[in-house]
């Protein structure tokens, strides 16, 4: 209701101001003494001129703007539309054969732009001062902004326009020496990024905001490292590729999270190549409710498939993904199926009905320690579930089948890793005799996925610790979920059939270092406020993971972060025969028999890895 009242009030004010501008044009033109005949001309035409100008404003939606937050761009638009309105008014008068002194037209344009623009600026100033009065009792946090570019300038203005946030920008740092000792909206640029710690001390900074969306992640990591040493919280604007519409506002500011600490640039994908193989196709994602599966669904939806088929055994997560995609892509044909990939007949019916063109297979049991205690389930779900999907994909002529694998499949020490290695072997076997292009994509840990170490650490920190780390030397490869999924989709576009694509995960990260960084980001000091406790390796866990079976057995691709592992010689005939032979016996086997069965298929599987490791450690300590 108030919104409509505000528009009507603004419209009435504009009518009054435009009439004043029109009258003043006559008044100035005739040196403050309007002749009688021209005063009659003014009275005859003012309603035409004002109406045409206001209609122009309405046409260009000037009354839909929130003038409280008017920017220079908005004022420039207003001047442009005032120019158009003045020109249209002159055209109408000429069309009606009403002739005014020619100087009236530019005078009316100038005065109307001055009065209308001035009214908007005055309104914004009034609202700013009014807001400051309402929040004058707030205790402000002193903010240091990193970046004196466009984003930093907009951010300074946004913070000043929103005093209710309790933030006060007091200084800026930037590595561009030409900006040093200058100021943005009265906030001085006092130094370079290397000077952050001195500035924090001198200005008594409470919080730092990183405002260089286009900066490499290495620069952000450098800022975070410097601030974490001083226990100062860092917030950031999203990277430029995350700011979809390019708009920067208070709501854009977010806490720095662990994804920002990889020190690696975001991956680049070939949008045209991806779009060409997904657009208009029926795409199925198994495990579509999981961390990887749901992100696959989100990113696939961007490329306009004719139908997106989401399959998962757990309905709750799948429902959330479905509702999210319906909101974002209301025209997308989405089918959600609750089904178990272990059920061969069910998979046959689904593929017969929906005939997918592309399958992304992300459904799997993935938790290493849990699968050590339930090896039967790992084999039934990961191996035989994959085999079911591979068979029906072959039967119903799926164009492309992309399976998600893991670095734990390389020289596996766990049942889960070994089960994934068997899946890779199945993929390569079936590709040799099928029209379907079967490929696998292998990568390491993804930050923030269900059951990963980061959510666990955050929970432990929230509870006051301790943060538990299995071993001082444990290292893992990490990638963000969106990065991993983008590369999976890109690898699918590059598939010729039979490849095991390996993603470049950068350098491995020590888990204990990750724990310390996350504790500092949370505002605490490791081993002072929050203790770190070493609890020992979990069942099936290795000190470090590998991405390649052999370092010299891979080839590069046209994408700098995607490699192809050269096939390892495997008796594929024996693989399928063995799988079929034991298919109905899995539940009757004990855990030792399951592990022996795995060794038949994966000779490099080493379930005694931890015992050997402990023996080595003990021998070293004796020496």
* Contact (Cβ atoms closer than 8 angstroms) between residue 439 and residue 401: yes
* Contact (Cβ atoms closer than 8 angstroms) between residue 259 and residue 517: no
- List, in sequence order, the alpha helices (H) in 148-254: 150-161, 196-203, 217-229
Cβ neighbours of 315 (radius 10 Å): 13
pLDDT value for 197: 93
The answer to whether the predicted template modeling score (pTM) of the entire model surpasses 0.75 is no
Q: For residues 277 and 274, what is the distance between their CA atoms, to the nearest angstrom?
A: 6
Coil, strand, or helix at residue 359?
A: strand
Q: For residues 513 and 458, what is the distance between their CA atoms, to the nearest angstrom?
A: 14
The answer to whether residue 420 is catalytic is no
Q: For residues 220 and 212, what is the distance between their CA atoms, to the nearest angstrom?
A: 9
Q: What are the residues whose beta carbons fall under 8 Å from the beta carbon of 355, sequence distance 6 or more?
A: 282, 396
Ranges under pLDDT 70 in the chain: 1-4, 65-73, 127-138, 238-271, 447-452, 477, 505-506, 539-554, 556-560, 566-572, 609-623
* Contact (Cβ atoms closer than 8 angstroms) between residue 45 and residue 98: yes
Q: For residues 467 and 526, what is the distance between their CA atoms, to the nearest angstrom?
A: 9
pLDDT value for 263: 52
9-53 pLDDT per residue, tens: 888 888 999 999 999 999 999 988 899 888 999 989 998 999 999
Q: Which of 282, 366, 408, 420 is catalytic?
A: 408
Tokens coding 53: 């100008």
- List, in sequence order, the alpha helices (H) in 538-590: 572-582
Q: For residues 557 and 163, what is the distance between their CA atoms, to the nearest angstrom?
A: 52
């Amino acid at each position: 209701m108030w919104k409509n009242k505000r528009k009507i009030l603004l419209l009435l004010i504009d009518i009054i101001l435009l009439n004043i501008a029109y009258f003043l044009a006559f008044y100035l033109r005739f040196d403050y003494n309007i002749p009688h005949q021209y005063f009659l001309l003014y009275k005859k035409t003012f309603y035409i001129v004002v109406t045409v100008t206001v209609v122009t404003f309405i046409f260009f939606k000037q009354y839909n703007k929130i003038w409280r937050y008017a920017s220079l761009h908005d004022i420039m638009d207003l001047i442009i539309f005032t120019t158009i309105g003045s020109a249209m008014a002159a055209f109408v008068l000429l069309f009606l054969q009403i002739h005014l002194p020619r100087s009236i037209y530019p005078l009316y344009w100038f005065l109307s732009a001055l009065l209308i623009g001035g009214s908007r600026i005055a309104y914004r100033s009034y609202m700013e001062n009014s807001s400051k009065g309402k929040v004058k009792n707030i205790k402000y946090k002193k903010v240091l902004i990193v970046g004196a570019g466009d984003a930093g300038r907009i951010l300074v203005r946004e913070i000043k326009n929103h005093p209710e946030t309790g933030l006060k920008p007091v200084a800026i740092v930037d590595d561009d020496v030409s900006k040093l000792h200058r100021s943005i909206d009265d906030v001085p640029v006092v130094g370079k990024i290397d000077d952050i710690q001195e500035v924090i001390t001198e200005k008594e900074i409470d919080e730092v905001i990183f405002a260089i969306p286009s900066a490499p992640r290495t620069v952000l990591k450098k800022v975070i490292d410097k601030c974490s040493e001083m226990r100062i919280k860092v917030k950031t604007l999203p990277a430029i590729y995350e700011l979809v519409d390019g708009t920067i506002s208070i709501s854009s500011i977010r806490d720095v999270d662990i994804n920002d600490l990889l020190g690696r640039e975001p991956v680049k994908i070939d949008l045209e190549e991806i779009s060409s193989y997904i657009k208009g196709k029926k795409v199925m994602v198994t495990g579509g409710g999981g961390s990887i599966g749901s992100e696959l669904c989100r990113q696939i939806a961007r490329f306009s498939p004719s139908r997106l088929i989401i399959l998962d055994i757990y309905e709750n997560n799948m429902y959330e993904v479905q509702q999210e995609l319906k909101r974002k892509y209301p025209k997308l044909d989405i089918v959600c199926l609750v089904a178990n990939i272990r059920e061969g007949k069910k998979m046959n019916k689904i593929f017969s009905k929906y005939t997918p063109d592309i399958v992304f297979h992300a459904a799997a049991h993935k938790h290493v320690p849990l699968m050590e205690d339930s090896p039967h389930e790992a084999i039934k779900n990961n191996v035989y579930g994959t085999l079911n999907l591979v068979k029906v994909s072959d039967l119903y002529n799926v164009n492309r089948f992309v399976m998600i694998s893991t670095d734990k499949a390389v020289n596996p020490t766990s049942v889960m890793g070994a089960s994934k290695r068997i899946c890779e072997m199945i993929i390569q076997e079936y590709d040799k005799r099928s029209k379907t292009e079967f490929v696998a994509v292998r990568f390491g840990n993804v930050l923030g996925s269900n059951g990963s170490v980061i959510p666990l650490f955050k929970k432990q920190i929230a509870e006051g610790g301790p943060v538990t780390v299995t071993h001082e030397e444990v290292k893992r490869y990490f990638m963000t979920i969106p990065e991993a999924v983008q590369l999976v989709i890109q690898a699918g576009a590059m598939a010729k059939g039979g490849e095991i694509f390996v993603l470049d995960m950068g350098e491995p990260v020590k888990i204990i270092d990750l724990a310390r960084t996350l504790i500092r980001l949370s505002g605490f000091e490791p081993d002072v406020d929050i203790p770190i406790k070493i609890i020992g390796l979990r069942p099936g866990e290795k000190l470090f993971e590998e991405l390649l079976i052999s370092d010299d057995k891979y080839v590069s691709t046209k994408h700098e972060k995607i490699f192809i592992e050269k096939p390892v010689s495997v008796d594929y005939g024996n693989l399928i025969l063995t799988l079929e032979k034991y298919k109905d016996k899995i539940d009757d086997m004990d855990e030792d028999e399951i592990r022996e069965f795995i060794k038949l298929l994966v000779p490099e599987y080493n379930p005694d890895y931890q015992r050997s490791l402990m023996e080595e450690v003990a021998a070293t300590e004796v020496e």
